[in-house]
Amino acid sequence: MKFANHYLLASILLVFFLGPIGFDYGLLSIMNLEILFLTILIFSIFFHEHNSKLFKLTVVSLLVILINILFFDIYQSIFQYFLKLFIIGITIIELFKEIIRTKKIDSHIVSSAISIYILIGVFWYLLFMFLLMIDPDSFYFRNFNKEHLPIDMIYFSFTTLTTLGYGDITPVSYTAKMWSITEAMIGVMFLAVMISRVVSLFGLKNKN
């Protein structure tokens, strides 16, 4: 459904723009944001109605994480990070397939492209959080606050994806450095691929 991609994009933007404001003023906790984001992904997957068994597996994985957070363990585990990486990865792949298969540029495709770009940042945020679990010294923080760590790593992921790099959070370990470089390269390459795709589709449209 075309509505699904608009819903996914609008919901993600809402979480990213209004969520931190609520966090800063004590209206939301990190766990509230986590539950809200997982709920958004669940509904967006149902709206898409894909026939892919692998894609439908993401719904089960999301529900497992959500139930675990709500009733058993509110803290993140390595298992949860792997599940979320799997979910975000499949969502990115499915949205990218839609862009490749399309024959015309419309608001549906534009919202899919923006959603992919945002989800790439989320994917790397999860990778960085996983890395910090196994190696707490993999990053240097100018002003470290353990309670703000998820927000800080989301911030680091997107400044890396967009190649801004303010320098207040610095990768220290070789793994952190290489993953940061990879994210920056993917961010640049994705934009290049999308621009070339748009240009080629406009070219086909003009020929017809």
Query: Rounded to two decimals, what is the model's pTM?
Result: 0.78
**HEC-encoded secondary structure of 43-72:** HHHHHHCCCCHHHHHHHHHHHHHHHHHHHH
Report the amino acid identity of residue 62: L
* Residues 97 and 114: beta-carbon distance below 8 Å: no
Give me the pLDDT at residue 128, please: 93
Distance CA 113, CA 9 (A): 9
In this predicted structure, what is the pLDDT of residue 176?
95
The per-residue pLDDT for 132 is: 92
Provide the residue count of the chain. Answer: 208
Enclosing domain of residue 185: 2-207
Which stretches in the chain have pLDDT values below 50?
1
Which residue is listed with tokens 């898409």? Answer: 48
The whole-number pLDDT of residue 66 equals 63
pLDDT for the residue numbered 170: 94
Q: What is the pLDDT of residue 188?
A: 92
CA distance 13 to 128: 21
Closest CA to 75 of 19, 153, 146, 142: 146
Task: Look at residue 98 in the predicted model and tell me its pLDDT.
Answer: 78
pLDDT at position 113, please?
81
Instruction: Kindly state the percentage of the chain with pLDDT values over 70.
Output: 58
What pLDDT is recorded for position 59? 64
Q: Where are the alpha helices (DSSP H) in the chain?
A: 2-24, 30-48, 53-67, 78-101, 107-134, 149-161, 174-207
Q: Domain tally for the chain? A: 1
Q: Are 152 and 141 in contact (CB under 8 A)?
A: yes
Q: pLDDT tens digit string along 93-124? A: 877 887 787 777 766 677 778 778 888 888 89
Provide the 3-class DSSP secondary structure of residue 137.
coil
